[in-house]
């Protein structure tokens, strides 16, 4: 039986390296020139308020530019780029506009006549992915003839890796995204993610590993320069190879295992031919998990700092992207408050997130974070004093109020400067010339 082909190259030069990785697998050779081509980059986060590290988090504009140039050269003239970027306000159109302007997508639009869309401003349609699982997916992608999928080669705190299949989650509606983080043990996040590629048009996936990231998918992870490009016309095969390159066994990645099972394949290289570089020459281990203390009641660095009087249970897969957005923020607020307490323990508080956690016995105060937690546990017999931070997801005012009620006194400067918080993550890249902003610009 013919093997699935995956090409693997070192990124060396603009234009040339993308051409090479696509050519090795004849990635565009059989695609009719009059096809409607849809390009899906990965812009998992953006802010217009300050600079922030994009390395390993966002598809480089270098790769997006070189793909558009290649498509144009080959005679494709109906090309659309779209992405649904998460921001605090669901009606916010400015963040995507700012992202597309700064990442150079509008330059590509003006030069090559392509369309650039904020996926949240475009229609969605229901797609039945399996008998039991459906999602509202971006209509432009569903009705295109050919998908060029451009994820980053990165790790993910819930899915272990975020590669070709997972990148398609950015094309489903907000309610579908929330639903995907289900507490149903059969149709959980991993199962649902595994179904995302079931009804897509023919597809070329190119993993952008110019920068990769440990403990992704966002900027609180640690990026590294890896200079890797991987391509395949088979989305599962590219994810298996991508996982290996991150030093993570694909047989240990639940969504890859499920996607392989659904296709009657195995989550390994047995039916894959890698063309170009060898995986073992480019692979390096990337940590994906955030380490908590043994009973998962506090992040390990918090325990080491001696933070006490509070249980902040480790997130599970049922906490969706929108609450995740605030999870790191909440933890940082607690750390900031702790620094003002001179070692005095918090008042025996527990913080619960997602759709599955249940309150522990014997706590003085229980913070239920998010509407899902409130709906599940508001009448729970283990709760002494309930502090509800409602909302789906909660807003900053409610978070501030809830922390205050729990006696977690966060200095006012923390909330005043919250828009500029992403700037802090730039510090770890200072003085490291391999982290170049130019990869996210198009000149």
Q: Which residue among 315, 322, 338, 439 contacts ligand SF4 (CB under 6 A)?
A: 322
Segment interacting with ligand SF4, rule: CB under 6 A, options 60-68, 356-364, 365-373, 416-424: 365-373
To ligand SF4, the closest distance from the beta carbon of 368 in angstroms equals 10
Does 330 participate in binding ligand SF4 (rule CB under 6 A)?
A: no
Q: Which residue among 54, 169, 178, 244 contacts ligand SF4 (CB under 6 A)?
A: 178
To ligand SF4, the closest distance from the beta carbon of 95 in angstroms equals 18
Q: Which residue among 57, 229, 323, 387 contacts ligand SF4 (CB under 6 A)?
A: 323
Segment interacting with ligand SF4, rule: CB under 6 A, options 45-53, 151-159, 199-207, 364-372: 364-372
- For ligand SF4 (CB under 6 A), the number of binding residues is 11
| 229 or 319: CB nearest ligand SF4 | 319
Does 393 participate in binding ligand SF4 (rule CB under 6 A)?
A: yes
Does 320 participate in binding ligand SF4 (rule CB under 6 A)?
A: yes
**What CA–CA distance (Å, rounded) separates 170 from 135?**
12
Q: Which residue among 370, 389, 402, 439 contacts ligand SF4 (CB under 6 A)?
A: 370
User: What are the CB-based long-range contacts (under 8 Å, 24+) for 417-420?
Assistant: 418/329, 419/47, 419/49, 419/50, 420/49, 420/50
Q: Quick one: three-class SS letters along the chain? A: CCCEEEEEEECCCCCHHHHHHHHCCCCCCCCCCCCCEEEEECECECCCCCCCCCCCCECCHHHHHHHHHHHHHCCCCCEEEEECCECCCCCCCHHHHHHHHHCCHHHHHHHHCCEEEEHHHCCEEEEECCCCCEEEEEHHHHCCCEEEEECEEEEECCCEEECHHHHHHHHECHHHHHHHCCCCCCCCHHHHHHCCCCCCCCEEEEEEEEEEEECCCCCCCEEEEEEEEEEECCHHHHHHHHHHHCCCCHHHCHHHHHHHHHCCCCCCCCCEEEEECCHHHHCCCCCCCCCECCCCCCEHHHHHCCCCCEEECCCCCCCCHHHHHHHHHHHHHHHHHHCCCCCCCCCCEEEECCCCCCCCCCCCEEEEECHHHHHHHCCCCCCCEEEEECCCCCCHHHHHHHHHHCCCCCCHHHHHCHHHHHHHHHHHHCCCCCCCHHHHCCC
- Binding string, 136-175, against ligand SF4, x = CB under 6 A? ----------------------------------------
Q: Which residue among 86, 319, 337, 352 contacts ligand SF4 (CB under 6 A)?
A: 319
Q: Which residue among 283, 392, 423, 424 contacts ligand SF4 (CB under 6 A)?
A: 392
Q: Which residue among 372, 387, 399, 403 contacts ligand SF4 (CB under 6 A)?
A: 372
To ligand SF4, the closest distance from the beta carbon of 86 in angstroms equals 11
To ligand SF4, the closest distance from the beta carbon of 120 in angstroms equals 16
| 178 or 233: CB nearest ligand SF4 | 178
| 230 or 388: CB nearest ligand SF4 | 388
To ligand SF4, the closest distance from the beta carbon of 369 in angstroms equals 8
| 171 or 323: CB nearest ligand SF4 | 323
- Residue 421 has a CB neighbour count (10 Å cut-off) of 16
| 86 or 165: CB nearest ligand SF4 | 86
| 182 or 243: CB nearest ligand SF4 | 182
To ligand SF4, the closest distance from the beta carbon of 220 in angstroms equals 18
Does 367 participate in binding ligand SF4 (rule CB under 6 A)?
A: no
Residues that bind ligand SF4 (CB under 6 A): 178, 319-320, 322-323, 354, 370-372, 392-393
């Amino acid at each position: 039986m013919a093997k699935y082909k995956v090409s693997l190259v070192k990124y060396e030069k603009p234009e040339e390296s993308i051409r090479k990785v696509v050519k090795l697998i004849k990635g565009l050779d059989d695609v009719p020139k009059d096809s409607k081509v849809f390009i899906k980059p990965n812009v998992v986060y953006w802010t217009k308020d300050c600079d922030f590290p994009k390395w390993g988090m966002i598809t480089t504009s270098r790769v997006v530019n070189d793909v558009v140039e290649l498509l144009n050269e080959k005679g494709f003239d109906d090309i659309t780029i779209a992405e649904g970027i998460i921001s605090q306000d669901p009606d916010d159109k400015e963040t995507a506009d700012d992202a597309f302007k700064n990442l150079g997508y509008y330059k590509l639009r003006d030069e090559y006549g392509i369309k650039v869309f904020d996926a949240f401003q475009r229609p969605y349609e229901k797609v039945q992915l399996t008998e039991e699982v459906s999602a509202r997916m971006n209509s432009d992608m569903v009705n295109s003839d050919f998908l060029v999928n451009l994820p980053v080669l990165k790790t993910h705190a819930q899915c272990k890796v975020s590669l070709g299949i997972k990148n398609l989650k950015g094309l489903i509606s907000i309610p579908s995204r929330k639903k995907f983080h289900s507490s149903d043990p059969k149709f959980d996040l991993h199962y649902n993610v595994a179904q995302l590629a079931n009804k897509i048009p023919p597809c070329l996936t190119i993993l952008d590993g110019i920068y990769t990231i440990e403990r992704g998918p966002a900027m609180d992870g640690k990026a590294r320069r890896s200079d890797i490009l991987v391509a395949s016309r088979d989305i599962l095969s590219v994810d298996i190879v991508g996982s290996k390159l991150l030093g993570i066994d694909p047989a240990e990645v639940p969504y890859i295992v499920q996607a392989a099972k659904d296709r009657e394949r195995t989550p390994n290289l047995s039916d894959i031919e890698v063309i170009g570089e060898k995986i073992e020459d480019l692979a390096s281990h990337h940590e994906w998990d955030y380490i908590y203390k043994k009973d998962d009641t506090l992040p390990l660095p918090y325990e080491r700092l001696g933070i006490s009087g509070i249980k902040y249970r480790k997130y599970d897969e049922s906490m969706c992207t929108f609450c995740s957005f605030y999870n790191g923020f909440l933890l940082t607020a607690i750390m900031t408050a702790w620094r003002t307490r001179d070692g005095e323990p918090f008042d025996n508080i527990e913080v619960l997130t997602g759709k599955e956690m249940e309150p522990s016995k014997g706590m003085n105060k229980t913070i239920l974070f998010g509407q899902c937690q409130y709906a599940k546990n508001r009448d729970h017999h283990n709760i002494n004093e309930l502090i509800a931070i409602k909302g789906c997801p909660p807003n900053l005012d409610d978070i501030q109020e809830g922390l205050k009620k729990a006696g977690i006194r966060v200095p006012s400067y923390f909330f005043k400067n919250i828009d500029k918080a992403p700037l802090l993550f730039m510090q770890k890249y200072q003085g490291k010339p391999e982290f170049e902003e130019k990869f996210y610009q198009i000149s």
